[in-house]
Structures are given as C-alpha cells and as structure tokens.
Amino acid sequence: MRYTVLGTGLMGAAVARALVQAGYEVSAWNRTPGRAAPLAKEGIVLCATVDQALRAGDAVILLLLDRAAAEDALRGHEGLLAGKDVINLMTGLPEEAVELAEATASAGARYLDGAIECYPSDIATEAALINCSGDAQVWSDHNKAIKAVAGRSAFVGTEPGAANVLDAALAGTFHSVALGALCEAFSFLRASGIDPSRPEIALDYWLDFLKEEALGMAKKLEGDEFTTVEATLSVYLAAIRQWRHTMLGVGQRASLMTAHMHNLEIAEAAGCGELGFLSQVTSTSIQRS
C-alpha cells in the first residue's frame, strides 16, 4: 500500500514518518516545499505538485491546515482521486465530514474520516489514538497502517461525522472542560495560599477517583440506571451550592461551578432530584416546541 500525505506540518510530518517506519511507501506534498525538505532524508518522496503526489499513492491522507486549505489543494485534481481512498485526518465539524464524504464519493473514491486525539509527539506510540468513522471497508483495508501511526486507533461508526462527534464530546466537552475546572480549582487554591503541586494535596487521588467514577457512570448509563442508593442529585446540588458559596466568598468567579449548579437545578426541576447525579443526562437537551 502506497500512501500520499497532503500537508506536512508538525502532525503531517509525524504521520508520514510513522508510515515510512512501518514499511509503507510514502509520498508527500506541502504548500511550502522548504518546510517539508528534511523529510526527504527519512525516506519520504517529496512531490513538487499535488498532481504528482496523488498519482504516487493508493490512499490520500489529508492533514492540511483546515478544510479550506484541503479544498484549495484538491481543486482541479478530483479526477485523480477515482479508485483511491481518501483518509481525512483533519478534525472539524461532523457536517464537514459528511460533505467531504459526499464530494469524495462523487469523485469515485472511498472515504474514511479520522480525528487525531493526541499530540504530534505521541504519534507512532501504542497509546496514541485516532478515532475513525465512515466506510468500514476502508477502515478494514487501512487499519494496520493507521495503528502503526496511533496504536489505540479504533473504528467508532459508519456515520462519517462520528469521529468528530466523539471529538467534540470527549476531547471538548469532557477533557477540555475538566482541565478548565482544574484551572478554576488551581486559581482558588492559589488565592487561598495553598500550592496545589504539594504532594499532600493529593491531586493524583482525585484523578484516580475520577477515572473510577467515570467508568462506573458509563456502565450505569449503558443500563439506563438513573436511580441511586447513595447521595441523590438534590444532595449533590446542596453540596455544590456550598462549594460555590465558599469560592465566591474569596473572590473567585466560579463560572464553571455556576454552570454546573445550573445544570443540576434544571435536572431537579425536571424531576430528577431523588435520582442519582447521572440522571442529569436526561435533561441537557434543548426542548424544541
């Protein structure tokens, strides 16, 4: 299998390098040829034109700056995509993946979408993750190469947008908000004269505890198990009000805590007060009437 990588920024270069190391033939094109030059020494065939690059590969990996850059690069070369596989590793909106899947099909090519969930420096490791979605046959034909790029990669659904939905949900709504919450906590501790990096602050305790609870919640969710024999949602809400009061009292803005309180208040108003904390998942959609 011969791969063409379009775009050799930090991530594109790391992906091209991982594929060569895994024994694949790799050609690459970059808008600014000078920045790609060092890759030639690593066995990657640098192409002067998109045309040349597309002809050199059976599958085309898109890792340009964004969708507009990808459209610019491919414009006028659609004929060369026929019979090939397009693997789009740029993360974007789910609807963009759907549109690109349709455009690819029109050009006679198959489409796989992927969202890279790690840093360029993690590429080519066992722990790195690319979530893929779209054509299951393309996944099946290329998953060996994709796993050489990121060992934990997985196929998450046949909807082309599924990888981007997962990215928005887990990289965005969960991971990024959790780190934002940590920043609010850090700020609050600094204002209280407590250095959160001190070992007795036991930050690792909270991260291990979070993992345990999060995996338990996923299991409960699977069974639509919203009742509880432990603290009810209303009991959590009371605790959250007290914690927020403490933060406001020392001049913290407590923005995430306030939004969190608001979510639980809406869940309580929706009748979840005597259910468990997890039951709030049933009341976070906007009702359209």
Of 40 and 177, which CB lies nearer to its own copies in the complex structure? Answer: 177
Residues binding its own copies: number (CB under 8 A): 105
Site string for its own copies, 176-195 (x = CB under 8 A): xxxxxxxxxxxxxxxxxxxx
DSSP for 134-176, written as a single string: E-HHHHHHHHHHHHHHSTT-EEEESSTTHHHHHIIIIIIIIII
Is 217 one of the binding residues for its own copies (CB under 8 A)?
A: yes
Residues in region 95-134 near its own copies by CB under 8 A = 95, 117-119, 127, 129, 131
DSSP class of residue 49?
S
**What's the rounded Cα separation, in Å, for the pair 79 and 94?**
25
Is 7 one of the binding residues for its own copies (CB under 8 A)?
A: no
Is 147 one of the binding residues for its own copies (CB under 8 A)?
A: no
- Residues facing residue 114 across a β-bridge: 132
Of 40 and 210, which CB lies nearer to its own copies in the complex structure? Answer: 210
Which of 213, 269, 271, 274 touches its own copies by CB under 8 A? 213
Is 142 one of the binding residues for its own copies (CB under 8 A)?
A: no
Is the separation of the CB atoms in 6 and 60 below 8 Å?
yes
Is 158 one of the binding residues for its own copies (CB under 8 A)?
A: no
Give phi and psi for 110, each to the nearest 5. -100, 155
Of 52 and 246, which CB lies nearer to its own copies in the complex structure? Answer: 246
* Least distance to its own copies, CB of residue 74, Å: 22
Please measure the distance between the N-terminal and C-terminal CA atoms of the chain and give it in whole angstroms: 52
DSSP class of residue 109?
-
Is 285 one of the binding residues for its own copies (CB under 8 A)?
A: yes
Site string for its own copies, 10-39 (x = CB under 8 A): ------------------------------
Is the separation of the CB atoms in 26 and 19 below 8 Å?
yes
Stretch that binds its own copies, among 16-24, 26-34, 37-45, 91-99 (CB under 8 A): 91-99
Stretch that binds its own copies, among 50-58, 105-113, 138-146, 211-219 (CB under 8 A): 211-219
- The token pair that represents 132 in the structure block: 């893929």
Is 136 one of the binding residues for its own copies (CB under 8 A)?
A: no
* Sheet strands side by side (includes 59-62): 45-46, 25-29, 2-6, 59-62, 85-88, 110-116, 130-134, 154-157
Of 13 and 254, which CB lies nearer to its own copies in the complex structure? Answer: 254
